[in-house]
Amino acid sequence: MSQLTATRALLSGNEAIARGAWEAGVTVATGYPGTPSTEILEAARAYKADIYCEWSPNEKVALEVAAGASLAGARAIVTMKHVGLNVAADPLMTLSYIGTVGGLVIVVADDPGMHSSQNEQDTRHYARFAKIPILEPSDSQEAMDFLALGLEISEQHSTPVILRSTTRVSHSSGAVALGERRAPPEIKGFQKNPQRFVPIPMNARPMRVRVEERMASLQAAVDSSTANRIEWGDRSLGIIAEGIAYQYVRELAPDASVLKVGWVWPFPDKRIREFARGVKRLLVVEELDDILEEHVRSLGIPCEGRRPGPWSHREAVPGIGELSPDRLAPVLGGDGGRPQPSSPAPASATLPARPPVLCPACPHRGIFYALGKFKVVVTGDIGCYALGVLPPLKRLDTILCMGAGVSMAHGMQVVESRRGAPAETEKPRDRIVGMVGDSTFFHSGITGLLDIVYNKGAAVIIVVDNRTTAMTGHQEHPGTGRTLMGEPTVSASVEEFGRACGMKNVATVDPYDLKATLETLRLALDSNQPWLIVSRSPCPLYTRKPVGPARRVNQELCRKCKLCLKLGCPAIEYINDEIRVNEILCGGCALCEKVCKDGAFGMAKGACDE
């Protein structure tokens, strides 16, 4: 956190949310990592004297833990990325019925443009679906203020509240006014009340009615909330905008009248009507889906946005990807009067595209290379190892969602076994392999494994265990032996989980030991049985230690067969018809040495120096 003054600081949206939680008296903060939400809990850890923080194994558990804390009377937050809310959707839908005691805010960070996500989702749908309020900040200050507002709404209306951030708000920094921690409301502990907290059908039916009554009181509250404000200007154009889109609108159309919507659902109908009455033409600018726009139309108010309105002569607001001033300029008429940049095009516009690659010395490379020696279909998953889909490795065939690497393998293998043995004229069939990371295994891989064993499947499951959640920046998980609070704890064993599921064939390999890895894979793939193979070696970026000394190519021995290039290691360069190792990048995993048939690779300091 960089201080501006004693009471103001420059904070990212995520840091501001963490600070807001501390100031608002939150005592429990849970979550599961996922870009762009991850830094919230990492920043909350700075307040661990006051806030208990945990990485839960997945988002469903995280929400349930926060719900328990809320029912016990504490203020709580839970953080996740947009797809995490799919995982937590089950508790969410019924928590809406049960409601909250201590304020509970579910912070969900959407990723328009899919900077680091497998899909684009608009979390606002969930608010409507679960019939709970959603707030959307436009900058760091609002991220902090809305967190506190969300807790208040949650307590006043006994409802969980969603705070929707987006990549741009979460990761941009802005000045924030700092305050002191306000004493949290008295925590009374859980007060038994089955009619309220136990939604068996006879209780759930009245709860369902109360949800609608709550909707009515929320509707009244949103209409008077200061989170939604009208900024009157030139009345020939009125723009309804929310989230980061508000900032772009203000930049491009500084003179226009704007209705800034911060409490997005229930919709602020009164404000919308008042605003629409005061302007000639109405435009709705929102990122991702046209939720507000559709609602404005449903009120009988003509507007334009994603769809053209009666006055439309401009381009539509883009509905796919992240908005930006550049993308919105044609919608608002040219450059909106903003000064043209005098500086040259940003470097990103002139640099050649570089596909993402596994880091040098990444342990995942060994298992991918070894898998390339077999005829397999690999149902992959999400994590650093997803990069194994790209050339030259090209070893992943599917990705769906976290955990699906295990379960989809089972589904495919069931079909394969029902197809029977291939005819003599047919090529041998591919064996089905599922691959997940260690964090993913604990997140949602275990149940899939249980399914395979229980239902007599025969897929080979590989857990690529690099001892951390690498993809999102090295967070702890149940297998790492440390908590988010920085304390040592038990380290859950993938192998023991496998055996507990009933898996008989469990093996552990070192992915840098290609020979042993190949032997184990052969054993597993030649059998007709299910296997659990744990490919274990820590991520060198996490340990911050090279695996071994850097390698160098002896040019006299190298016959340029280019086999080493098949490793896809960024440290191995092919320049001017010469294969070289970039010793600054090399992490010393020696896989190149192991795949080279000419013995051309050796330690940089030693064998090939002469």
Interacting residues with ligand TPP (CB under 6 A) = 32-34, 59, 81, 83-84, 87, 382-385, 402, 437-440, 464, 466, 468-472
3-state secondary structure of 172: coil
Nearer to ligand TPP, 34 or 448 (CB): 34
Give the list of residues 6+ apart from residue 485 with CB closer than 8 angstroms, or none: 45, 48, 52, 53, 54
The Cβ of residue 565 has, within 10 Å, a number of other Cβ atoms equal to 16
Q: Which residue is nearest to ligand TPP (CB)?
A: 437
Nearer to ligand TPP, 163 or 402 (CB): 402
Nearer to ligand TPP, 102 or 437 (CB): 437
Q: Are the C-beta atoms of 169 and 13 separated by less than 8 Å?
A: yes
- Residue (of 236, 347, 339) closest to 281 by Cα position: 236
Nearer to ligand TPP, 12 or 469 (CB): 469
Q: 298-302 long-range CB contacts below 8 Å, 24 or more apart? A: 299/269, 299/272, 299/273, 301/272, 301/273, 301/276
CA distances to 125, 129, 290 from 299, rounded to whole Å, are: 18, 20, 14
Burial class (CB in 10 A: 0-12, 13-18, 19+), 1: middle
Q: CB of residue 59 vs ligand TPP: minimum separation in angstroms?
A: 6
3-state secondary structure 439-493: HHHHHHHHHHHHHHHHCCCCCEEEEEECCCECCCCCECCCCCCECCCCCECCCCC
Q: Are the C-beta atoms of 184 and 119 separated by less than 8 Å?
A: no
CA distance 30 to 54: 5
Nearer to ligand TPP, 383 or 457 (CB): 383
Q: What are the DSSP E strand ranges found in 311-357?
A: none
Q: CB of residue 469 vs ligand TPP: minimum separation in angstroms?
A: 4
Q: 319 phi and psi, to 5 degrees?
A: -110, -5
Q: 9 phi and psi, to 5 degrees?
A: -145, 155
Q: Give the distance from CA 60 to its chain's centroid.
A: 14
Q: CB of residue 361 vs ligand TPP: minimum separation in angstroms?
A: 14
Q: CB of residue 116 vs ligand TPP: minimum separation in angstroms?
A: 8
User: 374: which 2 tokens?
Assistant: 């077999």
Q: CB of residue 126 vs ligand TPP: minimum separation in angstroms?
A: 14
3-state secondary structure 32-75: CCCCCCCHHHHHHHHHCCCCEEEECCCHHHHHHHHHHHHHCCCC
Nearer to ligand TPP, 146 or 441 (CB): 441
Nearer to ligand TPP, 154 or 472 (CB): 472
Q: CB of residue 472 vs ligand TPP: minimum separation in angstroms?
A: 5
Nearer to ligand TPP, 59 or 120 (CB): 59
Q: Please give the helix or strand (H or E) that residue 176 lies within, else none.
A: strand 173-177
Q: CB of residue 87 vs ligand TPP: minimum separation in angstroms?
A: 5
Nearer to ligand TPP, 63 or 256 (CB): 63
Q: Are strands 8-12 and 173-177 parallel, antiparallel or unpaired?
A: antiparallel
Q: Are the C-beta atoms of 134 and 77 separated by less than 8 Å?
A: no
Nearer to ligand TPP, 86 or 312 (CB): 86
Q: 475-482 long-range CB contacts below 8 Å, 24 or more apart? A: 475/33, 475/38, 475/42, 475/55, 475/439, 476/55, 477/55, 477/57, 477/438, 477/439, 477/442, 477/443, 478/57, 478/442, 479/438, 479/439, 479/441, 479/442
Q: Please give the helix or strand (H or E) that residue 151 lies within, else none.
A: helix 140-157
Q: CB of residue 33 vs ligand TPP: minimum separation in angstroms?
A: 4
CA distance 357 to 344: 29
Nearer to ligand TPP, 9 or 80 (CB): 80
Nearer to ligand TPP, 18 or 87 (CB): 87
Nearer to ligand TPP, 329 or 470 (CB): 470
Nearer to ligand TPP, 407 or 469 (CB): 469
Nearer to ligand TPP, 62 or 283 (CB): 62
- Residue (of 472, 465, 463) closest to 435 by Cα position: 463
Q: CB of residue 483 vs ligand TPP: minimum separation in angstroms?
A: 17
β-pair partners for 553: 601
Q: Give the distance from CA 303 to its chain's centroid.
A: 33
Q: What are the DSSP E strand ranges found in 243-313?
A: 256-261, 263-265, 281-285
CA distance 515 to 527: 19
